Chain A
Amino acid sequence: MKHFIFFFTFLFVFSACQQNDMVDPTLEQPTKINYSTKNAPFNQKVAKKAEEIAESYDGVPKAISVNTDRKLLLAFQLDHMKRFQLKQKEKTIEKKLKKSFRDYDVTVSSDMKIYWETEKLINKLENLDKREMNKKVENIIQLSREET
């Protein structure tokens, strides 16, 4: 009896691993977050362009970005199996963005918290004025630099 239980547990665990190999058509194209930035205090063209650049990299399914007049903040998610190259990817994207947007102070982060905070900020962009937005972006950048 015990052997059966362990055999089935074994089977269950390893069949769960196999499941990932099946291609789910909904996962092929990551769902793009739709948000309106028409009435944002700063024009978000730069941020949109930065998102496109980041998403063009292999293993980056989602990127989210916001910009003020001087600062550009980009947060991205990385495929699980590519996480070994996390720091390297972060550096490459940051370098590319710094090169593309020389007038901006670029911050790139792969941290989940930064991603959530940026997403939250983008969702309420239209209700903010320039001063508030500057403050919020600065807060997120500070958070991304925290080490302890």
Chain B
Amino acid sequence: MTVALDADFFRRWMSAVSAAVDREADRLTELDSAIGDADHGANMRRGLTAAVAALEEGVPSSPGAVLALAGRRLISTVGGASGPLYGTLLRRAGKVLGDQESVEPQRLREALHSGVEAVAQLGSAARGDKTMLDALYPAVEALGDSGDDFEAARRAAEEGAETTVPMRARRGRASYLGERSVGHQDPGATSSALFFAALADTAGTAATGEPA
């Protein structure tokens, strides 16, 4: 069965991310207080609340425009590095999706892959640096050739976030901690996993026709 990925699907996805970040904000902040500056939960909550509010004001007519608008709002409201990083992820993905009214899952996978590459380039980071990339790359790969294995992507993102625990941070404020960054899960990888959990939830809801 193919899920219709239209603008409304993407709007609901962003709402689901916002709700998940809202629920997990304390945990994100707690993780960030161990190796960062303890603002990740509040920053992400502020950014996603603003993004969802912008999407509710006027729902853009294409998936690409939804992601572009959400990304733009994240860049202008988050206030920390996660703003430009997630903003770039969504905007690049939105650009790849273009102005088609609905997109195939394979196309979404390509768009997300391109977005993750843009994040890596912006942050001059790679897998293994203990960043959001350690959740994002495995998640996009787990979407599979058909691009619609959303549950596999959810699991891969969560497992990817867990793999950051023994890593030593090589980017961001946590990198100043050196060895002391080892033993803590990366907050950015954790919030990245929430994006994919929300995607799976949104796709599941679309497939069963049940309201969230």
Q: Do A and B come from one complex?
A: no
Which of A's residues lie within 8 Å of B, judged by CB? none
Using a CB–CB cutoff of 8 Å, the interface residues on chain B facing chain A are none
